[in-house]
Amino acid sequence: MYLEHFNMQKMPFSITPDTSFFYNYGSYQEALNVLLVALRSGEGFIKITGEVGTGKTLLCRKVLNSLDDKFFTAYLTNPCLTPAGLRMALADELGIQYVRNIGQHRMLKQITDRLIELNTQGKQVVLLLDEAQALPDDSMEALRLLTNLETEKSKLLQVVLFGQPELDERLSQTKLRQLRQRVTFSYQLNSIDKGGLAGYLSHRLLVAGYHGKPLFTVDALDALYRVSHGVPRLINILAHKTLMIAYGRGSSNICHEHIRLAAEDTEGAVVKVKPSALSRVGIALAAMSAAAVAAFQVGGIGR
């Protein structure tokens, strides 16, 4: 829609976790470093927590892309699994073929054999679980028991838990104290600070192919940070909408007014004024009007 207007090759502020947009800054750089160092240590659980929208899934995928051939990775995006479901999902990730009605003892034996096989090949197996706060208690215990599998020198399976702050609350329960004691590395992912916002926007715009002058004015940056509190997902949603508004109005940069309209149209944005009827439909109308004008001009040329 606005790519040609701003001379970009792809959407700069999509909320899809595309690792090419990973911003190696602040807590994100620190979290990535912690993960890579911890994984090379080869022991225990690793825990990464962060509020909704702070980029945990993107960080998880960045880690997956950063590990070399020494690692064999398994990635589970849906943690709402029974203990049996968890073992079956892990078996699938490990490439294990099994019959549908396999008993759990037999399933665990096949998982163990596969982990030993990978270990003899020099592979370090890592299981990464996204949204781990949703994993049921009995499945948490099943996960802990899986990490008991080991040789004389090393663990056969290492686990990384990505979750919201509720994960810490879950692990504080007495019944999960054994798993909590297995967490050898942990990190809390924070939002982007005000000083990093301009760099974050510039990085994503550059990756998207934009090479012009700074798009966001100083006032726009201040307003964007104020309404988003530095939460990457909110920043992306708001920035995308401001580009739509600017495109619809024929603007070449993003100003405070664009941020205000986008914020009034966005759930979760911190807006101190009551949204106007115009703001709720302003973005759509702006884009539609621009498209209509373009179509009219093309039609006029054709005649």
- Report the pLDDT value the prediction gives residue 103, as an integer from 0 to 100: 92
Nearby residues of 246 by Cβ (< 8 Å), 6 or more positions away: 2, 5, 252, 253, 254, 258
C-alpha dihedral, 204 to 206 to 208 to 212, nearest 10°: 120
pTM of the complete model beyond 0.75: yes
- Report the pLDDT value the prediction gives residue 272, as an integer from 0 to 100: 62
Measured CA distances, 242 to 277, 282, 286 (Å): 17, 11, 11
Residues 184, 257: Cα–Cα separation, whole Å: 47
- Tokens 């909320």 map to which residue? 15
Mean pLDDT of 171-200: 95
Domain-embedded: residue 16: no
Based on the domain organization, do 39 and 166 belong to the same domain?
Answer: yes
- Report the pLDDT value the prediction gives residue 252, as an integer from 0 to 100: 92
Q: Which residue has the higher pLDDT, 286 or 124?
A: 124
Mean pLDDT of 252-265: 94
- Report the pLDDT value the prediction gives residue 282, as an integer from 0 to 100: 53
pLDDT at 75 > cutoff 50: yes
Domain-embedded: residue 17: no
Based on the domain organization, do 102 and 154 belong to the same domain?
Answer: yes
- Residue 190 phi, psi (nearest 5): -105, 165
Based on the domain organization, do 31 and 144 belong to the same domain?
Answer: yes
pLDDT band at 44 (very low <50, low <70, confident <90, very high): confident
In which domain, by residue range, is 167 found? 26-189
Based on the domain organization, do 170 and 250 belong to the same domain?
Answer: no
- Report the pLDDT value the prediction gives residue 258, as an integer from 0 to 100: 96
Based on the domain organization, do 177 and 209 belong to the same domain?
Answer: no
Residues 48, 27: Cα–Cα separation, whole Å: 11
Based on the domain organization, do 178 and 45 belong to the same domain?
Answer: yes
Round the average pLDDT of the chain to a whole number and report it. 89
Based on the domain organization, do 40 and 64 belong to the same domain?
Answer: yes
Domain-embedded: residue 19: no
For residue range 151-173, what is the model confidence (pLDDT) as tens digits? 877 889 999 999 999 999 999 99
For residue range 87-115, what is the model confidence (pLDDT) as tens digits? 999 999 999 999 888 999 999 999 999 99
- Report the pLDDT value the prediction gives residue 284, as an integer from 0 to 100: 53
Domain-embedded: residue 44: yes
- Report the pLDDT value the prediction gives residue 283, as an integer from 0 to 100: 52
pLDDT band at 270 (very low <50, low <70, confident <90, very high): confident
The CATH number assigned to the domain holding 170 equals 3.40.50.300
Based on the domain organization, do 75 and 170 belong to the same domain?
Answer: yes
pLDDT at 293 > cutoff 50: no
CB-neighbour burial class of residue 263 (10 A; exposed 0-12, middle 13-18, buried 19+) = buried
Query: Last residue of some domain: 189, 211, 230?
Result: 189
For residue range 19-38, what is the model confidence (pLDDT) as tens digits? 999 999 999 999 999 999 99
Q: Which residue has the higher pLDDT, 254 or 78?
A: 254
Residues 61, 19: Cα–Cα separation, whole Å: 7
Based on the domain organization, do 41 and 133 belong to the same domain?
Answer: yes
Residues 79, 73: Cα–Cα separation, whole Å: 16
Based on the domain organization, do 170 and 290 belong to the same domain?
Answer: no
Based on the domain organization, do 167 and 31 belong to the same domain?
Answer: yes
Domain-embedded: residue 243: yes
- Report the pLDDT value the prediction gives residue 286, as an integer from 0 to 100: 52
